[in-house]
Amino acid sequence: MNDLPTLPDPAVSSAKASEIPPAPPSSQPEQSLLETLQQPQVLLAGIAMLLIMLAAQTWSSHARVNKLREEMAMRLQKGDAINADTGTLVRNVQESTKELQTKVALLESKQQEAQSQQLALEQLYQDLSKNRDEWALTEIEQVLSTASQQLQLAGNVPGALIALQNADRSLSRSDKPQFITIRRAIARDTDKLKALPSVDSVGVALRLDNAIAQIDTLPMLSDEKPTLPAPAEKKARPAKVAHDKQGKPVKIEEPVTNPWLQSLQDGWTGWSTEMWTDVRQLIRVRNVDTPEALMMSPTQAYFMRENLKLRLLNARMALLSRNEGAFRADLIAAQEALNKYFDTRARSTQTVQALLRQVQSSNLAIEMPTLSDSLNAVRNYKAKP
Domain ranges of the chain: 10-17+34-106, 199-223+290-367
CA 244 to chain centre: 88
Tens of pLDDT, residues 282-300: 655 556 566 666 667 788 8
pLDDT score, position 165: 83
Pairing of β 249-251 and β 241-243: antiparallel
- For the chain, what is the radius of gyration of the CA atoms? 69
Among 20-29, 67-76, 315-324, which stretch is predicted with the lowest mean pLDDT? Answer: 20-29
CB 339 within 8 A of CB 327: no
Tens of pLDDT, residues 151-172: 777 667 777 888 888 888 888 7
CB atoms within 10 A of CB 305: 18
* Percent of the chain clearing pLDDT 90 (strictly above): 2
Task: Note the pTM of the prediction, 2 decimals.
Answer: 0.41
Tens of pLDDT, residues 307-357: 999 999 998 888 877 777 888 888 899 998 888 888 888 898 889 989 888
Nearest to 374 by CA among 152, 181, 112, 97: 181
SS3 call for 129: helix
| Element containing residue 214 per DSSP (H, E) | helix 201-214
Asked if pLDDT for residue 10 goes beyond 60, the answer is no
Beta bridge partners of 149: none
Q: DSSP assignment of 298-360, as one string?
A: HHHHHHHHHHHHHHHHHHHHHHHTT-HHHHHHHHHHHHHHHHHHB-TTSHHHHHHHHHHHHHH
pLDDT score, position 262: 78
The stretch 234-263 carries a mean pLDDT of 58
